[in-house]
A and B are shown apart, each in its own frame.
Chain A
Amino acid sequence: MITATQAPEKYLEIFDQLNKRTSAVQPLWLQSLREDAFARFSETGFPTTHDEDWRFTNVGAVASTPFELAGHDAVSREQLEPFGASQFDCCLVFVNGLFSQELSAVPVLPKGLTVGSLAAQLKNDPASVEQHLGQYLNTQRDAFAALNTSLIEDGVYVYVPRGVVVETPIYVLYVTVPGAAPTMNHPRNLIVVHENSQVTVVEDYVSLGEGITFSNAVTELVAGDNANVSHYMIVREGEQAYNFSTLRIQQGRHANVATHSLLLSGALVRNNVHPVLAGEGSECLINGLFMANGRQHMDNYMLVEHASPHCNSRQFYNGILNGQSHGVFHGRIIVHKDAQKTDAKQTNRNLLLSDDAQIDTKPQLEIYADDVKCTHGATIGQFDDNALFYLRSRGLAEAAARHVLLLAFANECLDRMNSPQIREHLEKLVVSGMPEASYSGVRLAEGAERNWEEVG
């Protein structure tokens, strides 16, 4: 049996290997940041389902698999063509977590803007990275974040100086290339957006072929005062891929951040989104759609922290679960003592398309201020028979009517995206990933549809 404390031991070897490779190029502060994180990871090990934050997700398979760090792999442009990323003028490609200059295309950018690889930035201007890297992420409470930090090597680096509006979306394609043996990669991304600036960043995680892989990404996103940031996260890795990601957002005064997640495939996907509304009057939209099939497991862990007054957060997550898949939505909202006039809303809606699909949805509100508005609601249901009949009575065949209803359900999320180009790209991915409902037509217990709403 694998216990939590046994698993990390083999990681010591990997950690040492990486140290040998990077000690010459990485600054001392980074080495110590990594060492601290590794000590933390060694102490805690991988979480188990006894941990409340991991109650519905068993990572035993990840803990017990002997992953090796994936190295450089030769990938051609043609191989990447099906992913549709090249339609974006600014497209950076990372292969197994490492930047690929020859596969990337970065157009001429506004002055002062930096878009490139974290490894390069660490070489050219380590001080600019030191200011932010690891400053926001909590490695104490998340073993995966600690593991990522201890193995920092590369990832995307985006720096937007004051008052710059970046019109072109920055599209980042993370390509995992499975090997003969299980491999892992730990992309570490840093996005720093200064006062009054605006930018859109897309992270897209894909696999080139099938095989056992473990991607464990961390993104720290800093939105300065009055900054406006749109962030997209797409996970569409292979059938044997474990994909873990943590998005840590730090918001300044009146900063406006929207993060959209689209989870389409992977054996096990854990999507952590953790915004801290630190500046007064900041706003955050956390929008997501997850579509699981077969035996896929998709876990969405939201932690929204209101740390200042007059902030507004909106969480909308829709799940479509088919086959024997398992979905999780854990929506935690913490309203700190001084965060008066907080307005936090959370909605999780789930469609179960088969009798064996499963969803666990769990709201968790912790409110320490006394003048706040927090609402949450979750629904779990099947196709609405009335809506199906309505569509059929207008001439749509049953299968087409189901398809329209699925699209409608997905559109609720897609409609919150404000870049037409990205929305269209994502809509295509959604439609092509749409399951043929294997719904047996037999309703589960009448009580299968639940609804709750609370005001606290």
Chain B
Amino acid sequence: MSLLEIKNLHASVNGNEILKGIDLTVNPGEVHSIMGPNGSGKSTLAQVLARRESYEVTAGSITFEGKDLLEMKPEDAACEGLFMAFQYPVEIPGISNAYFLRAALNAVLKYRGQDEMDAIDFLPLLKEKMRMLEMDERFLNRPVNEGFSGGEKKRNEIVQMAVLEPKLAVLDETDSGLDIDALKIVAKGVNAMRNKNRAMVLVTHYQRLLDYIVPDFVHVLVNGRIVKSGGPELALELEEKGYSWTEPELAGKR
């Protein structure tokens, strides 16, 4: 059984149809990259997967391990093993990173019927993951994302992913705004988590990320539809030619 199965997905935001029939199958262990120009629907797809309620699914289906994802609340999807690294991580003043992450992990553990972790057991785990992302320990007690730089926020997302160990991670433009050093650190963290059971969907505008996290499949999303799929070489082609060739209408205007 595939991990994620998207069939003929149509989705709207405020009555505007953004996704116009997406089909995508992701199996355990695979890394897929979804690329496309701004406004093509990449982030909408990521938000729909994370179950954001303001995105309305008008047709089609999504199953996650055979279960109907569209019936799940965001927290249920998370507990089932779906993780989204946000393009714009939210700042939550007043709650420390450590408290937040332990609350999250315990919610997931509880959902799975496993024992919750106390602070004493949790702290070494979190520290280890933070070291992997080269984050200073002072971030443990800092309020969630508050006053973090763009790069620190993105690294913090990957720390969260490392703690929660999802089956499917959706990375929404995790590379945007990162300098090359931060990008390498993030990529190292993501690569360390690749294994035969875990799948990833990298949503990105730039091919640069794929130099460091090499995907198994690349899909090009234009105007709410996947117009082309291929291997990692497709990303290089995009880098060279830009996006215009993928869209016959756009190409014709050249």
Give A contacts to B, CB under 8 Å.
384, 386-387, 389-398, 400-401, 404-405, 407-412, 415
Contact = CB atoms under 8 A, between A and B. Distances in A.
Given A390-B86, A400-B103, A404-B103, A395 B93 contact: no
Contacts of A392: 73-75, 78
Interface stretch (B104-112, B118-126, B189-197): B104-112
A408 B160 CA distance: 19
A398 B79 contact: no
Interface string B36-68: 000000000000001111000000000000000
A394 B160 contact: yes
B94 A408 contact: yes
Of listed A384, A391, A398, A407, residue having the most chain B CB within 10 A: A391
Contacts of A411: 94-95
Given A395-B108, A397-B107, A404-B100, A390 B95 contact: no
A398 B75 contact: yes
Contact of B95 (A384, A389, A404): A404
B92 interface: yes
B111 A395 contact: yes
B75 A390 contact: no
B89 A390 contact: yes
Contact of A389 (B74, B94, B101, B103): B74
B35 interface: no
Interface of B: 50-53, 73-75, 77-79, 83-84, 86, 89-90, 92-95, 100-101, 103-105, 107-108, 111, 143, 160, 164
Contacts of B111: 395
Given A404-B95, A404-B100, A411-B95, A397 B90 contact: no
A394 B107 contact: yes
Given A395-B79, A396-B103, A398-B73, A390 B92 contact: yes
B138 to A, nearest CB: 15
Of listed B51, B95, B105, B111, residue having the most chain A CB within 10 A: B95
A408 B53 CA distance: 23
Contacts of A401: 75
A400 B51 CA distance: 17
Of listed A384, A392, A394, residue having the most chain B CB within 10 A: A394
A410 to B, nearest CB: 7
Contacts of A390: 86, 89-90, 92
A393 B93 contact: no
Contacts of B107: 394-397, 400
Contacts of B160: 394
Contacts of B83: 393
B67 to A, nearest CB: 16
Nearest to A405: B92
5 contacts: A390-B90, A394-B100, A395-B108, A395-B164, A397-B107
A394 B94 contact: no
A399 B143 CA distance: 21
Contacts of A415: 94
A398 B72 CA distance: 13
B165 to A, nearest CB: 12
Contacts of A397: 73, 75, 107
Given A393-B50, A394-B107, A387 B75 contact: no
Nearest to A410: B94
Given A386-B90, A389-B90, A393-B78, 19 more contacts: A389-B50, A389-B74, A390-B89, A390-B92, A392-B78, A393-B74, A393-B83, A393-B86, A394-B164, A395-B105, A395-B111, A396-B75, A396-B107, A400-B107, A404-B92, A407-B95, A408-B93, A409-B94, A411-B95
Contacts of B50: 389, 393
Contacts of A394: 78, 100-101, 104, 107, 160, 164
Nearest to B50: A393
Nearest to B82: A393
A401 B93 CA distance: 14
Of listed A389, A391, A393, A410, residue having the most chain B CB within 10 A: A393
A383 to B, nearest CB: 11
Nearest to A385: B54
Contact of A395 (B78, B89, B143): B78
A255 B49 CA distance: 56
Contacts of A400: 103, 107
B104 A412 contact: no
A448 B89 CA distance: 24
A239 B52 CA distance: 40
Contacts of B143: 408
Given A389-B52, A389-B74, A390-B86, A395 B104 contact: yes
B103 A387 contact: no
Of listed A393, A394, A395, A408, residue having the most chain B CB within 10 A: A395
B132 to A, nearest CB: 19
Contacts of B86: 390, 393
Contacts of B101: 394
A296 to B, nearest CB: 23
Contacts of B94: 407-412, 415
A409 B160 CA distance: 22
A394 B145 CA distance: 14
A408 B96 CA distance: 9
A384 B145 CA distance: 15
Nearest to B85: A393
B181 to A, nearest CB: 26
Nearest to B80: A395
Nearest to A394: B104
Contacts of A404: 92, 95, 100, 103
B29 to A, nearest CB: 23
Nearest to A412: B94
A120 B107 CA distance: 55
A377 to B, nearest CB: 14
A408 B92 CA distance: 7
Contacts of A393: 50-51, 74-75, 77-78, 83-84, 86
